[in-house]
Structure 1
Amino acid sequence: MSLNARKPILISGAGICALLFAQTLRRASIPFIIFERDSSISFRAQGYRLRLSEEGLSAIESALGPEAWPKFWATCSKTGGTAGGFAAIDALTGEEVSGPLQNGVRINDREGRGQPLALISRDGKVVGIARGEMRKLFMEGCEPFVQWSHQVTSYELTPSGVRAVFADGSKSVEGEMLVGGEGISSKIAKQLSQGKIKVYDMGSRGIHGQAPTTAFKGLGEGVWRMMDDTNPDGKVYAMTNVRPNDMDDPNVMFGWTMSAQPGVIEPPNNDYTIVGVAAAKIAKELTKNWHPRIKPLFDQMNESEAAFWKITCSSPIGVPEWPNEPRVTLIGDAVHGMTPAGGNGANTAVRDSALLGRLLAEAGGYADGVTAAYEKEMKVYATEQVKASYGMASGSFGATIDENTPTV
């Protein structure tokens, strides 16, 4: 990439949607700088596996272009198997839950009020990729433009641009525009929206972990959702994507994600950043009565990799309105945090990246009206997905957002 004479686009955060957005700028030869609070890309665990919808895949394909897309597509898993790639299982009996399918989800197992995204996205398969793999692919070519250990806490407008302000009080070079893509804790989101963007803690906690692929042989290929409604404290769910390859290799790991209704999973001291044995112990206890077809996923887990996570969501009414600031805007979880239900969050975030990147590329860089046009379109589809995500989560987890729900 040859940097031109224009001031750079400043990007806060080096997560998935921020890096994909940077790729759109790189392809258009628009200069940019990424500021990331972590010290490196491997600073912390990258979370669970993502299922990509057709909308998400199309956004990524358009953002990466014909040069980088084939490598990304080759890295993705394409899972077929039972029920076109998706099936629900009773965790205690090991039997598949009967009932017709709608958009890849069994109607009598949906429970949520929102409408889920279709899990089957291309060629009759469920397409997935690990967050860590996705982030590394989106980082390729952007490395020289990332400034690590730089946490953006606010911004200040200048007569001809904007500067990011860091946690230590120092400031960035002047940029033409600032894009907040640093997730649900975004300080830029709070400043830009004047506090209107809020993310709520729904009270539910989850655990994600991994086990050797040989532990998954009882399930076989497919995307599986397991449910146990016999726990006296509330329902427990688990989800896993069993790809067709490597099933006989104990050195290859597959991941799983567990979630539950509020009060079922309680990290020690409510510290959901804990990684390791504490999380593994709870997962094993919750699944001790599960069917032998499923139980090996938890009995044989790599205990050191088990980690807690928090279920949060933006306001269920969707993305709020705020006065447009031409020089500053938001993408991804910074503007519309979602629950894991339906896989809406990441798919909506990459749509943001592709849309804003396309508008800037068409304008040749920053131009008046770009952020307004982006926000007008983004708020429509993102609000729809926040509502769907919240509806499914409140139905499944029994967690709701009201005036007493704490924010994060």
Structure 2
Amino acid sequence: MRVIVIGAGLGGLALAGGLRRSGIDVAVYERDPSPVVRGQGYRLHLSDVGIDAAASVLGPGRWSAFLSTAHTPKARFIRFDTELRVLEEHDFEGRHLAVDRQELRDTLLADLDRVITYGKHLTAFRTETEHVTAHFEDGTTATGEVLVGADGVNSAVRRQYLPHARVVGTGLTQLYGKIPRRSAEDLDHVFSAITGSGHRVVGVALTRDYATCSFSARTDELPPEPHHMRQHQLRSLVAEMTYGWHPRVQRMLAGWHEIFPLALRTSVPIAPWATTRVTLLGDAAHAMSPAAGAGANLALQDAARLAAALSGGGPLISELRSYERGMAGSGFAAVRASAANGARILGQDPLPAC
């Protein structure tokens, strides 16, 4: 069997690694010209779901080496007001790791040098009785028995495969960046949120080497094109929007750097679909706001489940159908939970009806 994977994000890389460990031929095609051309975030939270999935696709040696780069935060979410008074606390069960996204990407990439082709923009695919052919903008093609859309929230595979599936705005924009770890040592939780009026939120979470710091607000409160703003302009904007908050918050924001903006979007859950040789994983199927901390975990879980399905030896369509039912079930449940948390804490728009 040959599997064509469109997209070299975390889910696509994890799937490729899991398939190679099972002896299945896999080829990954990525639209970006290299793995480091755009900001994708910094710190990731892995729960039991993501930890088990990453361990299964990486294997003992790679996973053990990766663990040495991870940080274990207190298993707690805390929400503060602007004077840093605690408004709510929630303790989590299970295992939790704070990891650097690039460290995880590098670990997943380690054995995939000959598997990934960059600069490949999918324009369409054609499904036939025994195979699927991907067509790229440069006129080339790739053929396999299965094609997997792991190409993120803007998935070209999803647009053709499930044209009725919608991705909508949440009404929120988030600015991601880093602050020195020493400025947030006492906020070593799975996540700490400092919430002000108008659903303005500063989020802080530690890794081994730094703390990630985010600021989210309603998109209509921000300038129309924040991605064109310089770092000092973004810092000044957020300092103004958090004016009067606790001095500690202002000191953290003064050290904010490597900031980039991201408009937050979400999938709208849909009913089960007819299974073919084409399938999806991760944000291509169930994108969500970060309010549930589940996106990366579910992308890794999808990858591990799909690798197991494709290497299980059962009838292909039956295995893919079982995978898709599980993927959509857990994925869309997380979309709904994320939307509910996002509405309560961040001011996210309500999730549209299916």
Relative to the length of structure 1, the TM-score reads 0.80
Whichever residue aligns with residue 183 of structure 2, its letter is A
Are residues 1:336 and 2:327 paired? Answer: no
Other-structure match for 1:286: 241
Whichever residue aligns with residue 165 of structure 1, its letter is H
Identify which range, 272-281 or 388-397, moves more after superposition: 272-281
Of residues 137, 140, 143, the one that matches 2:113 is: 143
Give unmatched runs, 5+ long, in structure 1.
Answer: 1-5, 105-117, 246-251
Secondary structure of the residue that 2:316 maps to in structure 1? coil
Are residues 1:181 and 2:150 paired? Answer: yes
Residue 385 of structure 1 deviates from its aligned partner by 1.1
Residue 388 of structure 1 deviates from its aligned partner by 0.8
2-structure distance, mates of 1:140, 1:287: 42
Are residues 1:324 and 2:275 paired? Answer: yes
Does the aligned pair in 1 maintain the 2:179–2:252 contact within 8 Å?
Answer: yes
Other-structure match for 2:165: 197
Does the aligned pair in 2 maintain the 1:121–1:127 contact within 8 Å?
Answer: no
2-structure distance, mates of 1:121, 1:48: 23
Secondary structure of the residue that 2:27 maps to in structure 1? strand
Relative to the length of structure 2, the TM-score reads 0.91
Secondary structure of the residue that 2:213 maps to in structure 1? strand
1-structure distance, mates of 2:296, 2:191: 19
Are residues 1:363 and 2:313 paired? Answer: yes
Higher helix share: 2
Does the aligned pair in 2 maintain the 1:25–1:31 contact within 8 Å?
Answer: yes
Identify which range, 55-64 or 182-191, moves more after superposition: 55-64
Residue 396 of structure 1 deviates from its aligned partner by 2.2
1-structure distance, mates of 2:125, 2:231: 37
2-structure distance, mates of 1:199, 1:275: 29
- Structure 1 399/214 Cα, relative in aligned 2: closer, same or farther at 3 Å? closer
Residue 351 of structure 1 deviates from its aligned partner by 1.1
Of residues 163, 172, 175, the one that matches 2:141 is: 172
Of residues 287, 297, 307, the one that matches 2:260 is: 307
Does the aligned pair in 2 maintain the 1:207–1:283 contact within 8 Å?
Answer: no
Secondary structure of the residue that 1:321 maps to in structure 2? coil
Are residues 1:385 and 2:334 paired? Answer: yes
- Structure 1 27/130 Cα, relative in aligned 2: closer, same or farther at 3 Å? same
Other-structure match for 1:113: none
1:205-220 matched pairs, under 5 angstroms: 205-217=173-185, 219-220=186-187
Cα-Cα RMSD: 2.3
2-structure distance, mates of 1:291, 1:308: 24
Residue 321 of structure 1 deviates from its aligned partner by 2.4
Other-structure match for 2:127: 157
Whichever residue aligns with residue 314 of structure 1, its letter is S
Residue 188 of structure 1 deviates from its aligned partner by 0.7
Deviations 1:154-204 (A, max 9, x none): 211244311111123x232321111000101111112111x1211101111
1:62-77 matched pairs, under 5 angstroms: 62-77=56-71
Higher strand share: 2
Residue 224 of structure 1 deviates from its aligned partner by 4.6
Whichever residue aligns with residue 88 of structure 1, its letter is R
Residue 229 of structure 1 deviates from its aligned partner by 2.6
Whichever residue aligns with residue 222 of structure 1, its letter is H
Secondary structure of the residue that 1:142 maps to in structure 2? coil
Other-structure match for 1:86: 77
- Structure 1 307/143 Cα, relative in aligned 2: closer, same or farther at 3 Å? same
Deviations 1:45-76 (A, max 9, x none): 13131111112211222222223221222222
Residue 223 of structure 1 deviates from its aligned partner by 4.1
Residue 212 of structure 1 deviates from its aligned partner by 2.4
Whichever residue aligns with residue 335 of structure 2, its letter is V
Does the aligned pair in 2 maintain the 1:163–1:171 contact within 8 Å?
Answer: no
- Report the count of equivalent residues: 353
2-structure distance, mates of 1:369, 1:310: 37
Identify which range, 393-402 or 207-216, moves more after superposition: 393-402
Does the aligned pair in 1 maintain the 2:46–2:97 contact within 8 Å?
Answer: yes
Deviations 1:301-331 (A, max 9, x none): 22xx11111111111xx24322211x11000
